[in-house]
Chain A
Amino acid sequence: METTAVKPQFSEAAQAEIKRLLTHYPDDRRKSALLPVLHIAQAEFGGWVSPEVQDLVAEVLDIKPIEVYEVATFYTMFNLKPVGKHVLEICRTGPCMLRGSDELTAHLERITGAKVGGPASADGLFTLKEVECLAACGFAPIVQVREKYYEQLDTPEAVDAMLTELRNQVHRPALPWEETGLPNALANN
């Protein structure tokens, strides 16, 4: 396996955001910021958290790397392998299934060429991931991409609109502490 030659570093904007987050917890409880910092890390480093990125998070919070690994592997939102430019998280739980999530998944596999749980599509654009209930059951079926919910994807037109929007995103949407979003394409994908 290739190793990353350059040690990852948070951007200045992300560092400032982490500093702000740390004020939310008692001084001797920096570890509390672990989940929010992992979210920032995933947004900063191409949609996944590599072992090197997890080590960086440990360093920033002054905790042991194992404390990051055990958490990153417990929570399903953190991708532990490289992903495509857009990770489509398809809700597969009961209420979505009742309104066609199985059909939606099959449709997305057909048109992107990617398989759920597999590598990204050949063009590097889409990773498909099935997830459990996203708490939007009344608007099923649903796909989450980063911080956005695409709802009522029960027609090919609705799915096409989502994919077109994503294909046209050169940069991912900016986060509140950023002036612009980072480019979608990253060297490690």
Chain B
Amino acid sequence: MGRKLLTEHINVEGINTFEVYRKHGGYRSVEKALKTMTPDEVVEEVKKSGLRGRGGAGFPTGMKWSFLAKPEGVPRYLVCNADESEPGTFKDRQLMSKLPHLLIEGMITSSYALGANTSYIYIRGELLYVLRILEKAIAEAYAAGFLGKNILGSGYDLDLHVHPGGGAYICGEETALLESLEGKRGNPRNKPPFPAVQGLYARPTVVNNVESIAAVPVIVNEGGDEYAKLGVGRSTGTKLISACGHLNKPGIYEIELGLPVEEFIYSDEYCGGIWKGRELKAVVAGGSSVPILPKELILKTAAGENRLMTYESLSDGGFVTGTMLGSGGFIAMDETTCIVRNTWNFSRFYHHESCGQCSPCREGTGWMEKVLHRLEHGHGHMEDIDLLVSVAKQIEGNTICPLGEAAAWPVAAAVRHFRHEFEWHVTHAKEAAQPGAVYRANAVLV
């Protein structure tokens, strides 16, 4: 059983209160950082830890921090991205609602490292009930002297606020999030300038995912080198995986990176296998935007190696035979799942969530949804399948933000691995359009 760095105490009664959290070693990283370390030393430890952004992109957190511009006399900001909206992903919601003080502790230590005196947690509007939990915990932290002026007598000041979104997936993109925090529509900004130079209110800003920030306390407490000992290669530490779909035990699991995918799906310690005694058909391993893989390719790479839960192993084979760890939103589909229907569902999602700024995404997502809808409902043509691939290709790389890619990849991957199933929807249109109809032959592996 792997070590739990973030969630060790998640089921302790009252751990959502300051008192109980503190009793279990909470806020030690704030004491250590503010009393014994310079901000740059904290950044250094995070760099050494190898921690990579847990929101999905996997960019090294310490490196992101070191890009932050620090002009004299200009305030800078840390903004926590709690706009968890990637279908299949629900880890941050669990973490924040059960361990609000872990995020607050991480925000204080990280804000100190970055020299921010005001920080924000931008939480998706649907999670207003979690915002209430965080606000209560923040009030406790103020009362205990861990927030506000002259924290622990160190001379360091920090105000921390929670800000709700209004229902828009796009606000998980960091520049759209900043627009939204400024009270505007969530339209992503052109880059450069990057937020590290001109972010919130045109000031230098770092935006980090909840889970990334929550990993900072343990890195500061135990040291970056110790953290980096966990995991495999450049996938260091632990990762929260939110498992859903057709599993016996869906839920949140903190795994040490490097766990075999097969063990994660079938072991009783984790997901306990596929529900109703059925066979696994396919997995979307890192949130809806990463390529879907058929059972054979999610369990083993094309070269026949065991697939591991790491950034590198999951992307082994590129997009031809691999996928991505992404946000850790792990969606399992059993043998009764219609891949065309599922792909249509995801396309509808991206069409709905496109902000509409860039034509390739605004129009392309709409066309993919329409074409997939007609395939699924028995009105498709054989040419539609290549049309989908063509539209996906024309979106990719031609938009301001990665929502374009997020919309294109799932479609391209579904056609790549399940082309026969799409074709069957044309050749057996009437049958395919029946509710619950499923094509059962094997997927194409390459």
- Please encode chain A, from 129 to 154, with 1 for each CB lying within 8 Å of some chain B CB and 0 for all others: 00111111111100010011100000
A169, chain B: closest CB distance, angstroms: 16
| Contact call A144/B244, Cβ cutoff below 8 A | no
Distance of A174 from chain B, by nearest CB (Å): 11
Interface residues of A in 39-54 (CB under 8 A from B): 39
Residue of A nearest to B250 (CB): A138
Known: A98-B333, A176-B132. A36 touches B163 (CB 8 A): yes
Q: Are B165 and A35 in contact (CB under 8 A)?
A: yes
* Nearest-Cβ distance from residue A136 to partner chain B, whole angstroms: 5
The 0/1 profile, CB within 8 Å of B marked 1, for residues 1-38 of chain A is 00000000000000000000000101001011111101
Q: Report the separation of the CA atoms of residues A132 and B86 in the bound assembly, to the nearest whole angstrom.
A: 10
Contacts of A93 in B (CB 8 A): 87, 288, 345-346, 349
Q: How many residue-residue contacts, CB under 8 A, span A and B? A: 150
Distance to closest chain B CB from A98 (angstroms): 5
Q: Do B125 and A77 touch across chains, with their CB atoms under 8 A apart?
A: yes
Is B166 within 8 A of A98, CB to CB?
Answer: no
Measured between beta carbons, the chain A residues less than 8 angstroms from B125 are 35, 39, 75, 77
Question: Is B362 part of the contact surface with A, judged by Cβ < 8 Å?
Answer: no
- Interface size counted on chain B using CB atoms at 8 A: 57
CA distance A6 to B337 in the complex (A): 54
Whether B183 contacts A137 by the Cβ 8 Å rule is: no
Instruction: Give residues 88-144 of B contacting A (CB, 8 Å).
Output: 88-90, 92-93, 120, 124-129, 132, 135
A31, A78, A136, A138: the one contacting B166 at CB < 8 Å is A78
Q: A39-B125, A137-B88 are in contact. Are A75 and B167 (CB under 8 A)?
A: yes
Query: Is the pair A94, B88 in contact by a Cβ cutoff of 8 Å?
Result: yes
B16 on the A face (CB < 8 A): no
Provide the bound-state CA to CA distance between A124 and B313, in Å.
54
Question: A99 near B: Cβ within 8 Å?
Answer: yes
**Chain A count of residues within 8 A CB distance of the other chain:** 43
Question: In the complex, which of the residues A39, A61, A131 contacts B164, with contact meaning CB atoms closer than 8 Å?
Answer: A39
Does A160 belong to the interface (CB within 8 Å)?
no
Cα(A54)–Cα(B127), bound, Å: 22
Tell whether A82 is near chain B: CB-to-CB under 8 Å: no
Are B166 and A39 interface neighbours, CB within 8 A?
Answer: yes
Contacts of B345 in A (CB 8 A): 92-94, 97
Cβ 8 A contact of B183, one of A71, A133, A135, A140:
A71
Q: How far is the CB of A57 from chain B (nearest CB, A)?
A: 11
Q: Is B6 close to A, CB under 8 A?
A: no
B180 at the interface (CB under 8 A from A): yes
Q: Which residues of A are found within 8 Å of B329, using beta-carbon distances?
A: 137
Give A34 Cβ to nearest chain B Cβ, in Å. Answer: 4
| Cβ–Cβ contact A133 & B163, under 8 A | no
Q: Which of A93-148 contact B (CB under 8 A)?
A: 93-95, 97-99, 131-140, 144, 147-148
CB of A165 within 8 Å of the partner chain: no
Closest 8 CB pairs of A and B: A75-B166, A77-B167, A34-B183, A31-B183, A137-B244, A76-B167, A138-B250, A24-B161
A-B contact pairs, 22 of them (CB 8 A): A29-B182, A29-B183, A29-B201, A33-B183, A34-B183, A35-B125, A35-B165, A35-B166, A70-B184, A71-B184, A74-B186, A93-B345, A98-B246, A132-B353, A133-B86, A133-B88, A135-B126, A138-B90, A138-B244, A139-B90, A147-B129, A149-B129
Given A135-B85, A147-B129, 5 other A-B contacts at CB below 8 A?
A: A71-B185, A75-B125, A75-B186, A137-B90, A147-B128
- Contacts from A to B (Cβ < 8 Å): 24, 26, 29, 31-36, 38-39, 61, 63, 67, 70-71, 74-78, 92-95, 97-99, 131-140, 144, 147-149, 176
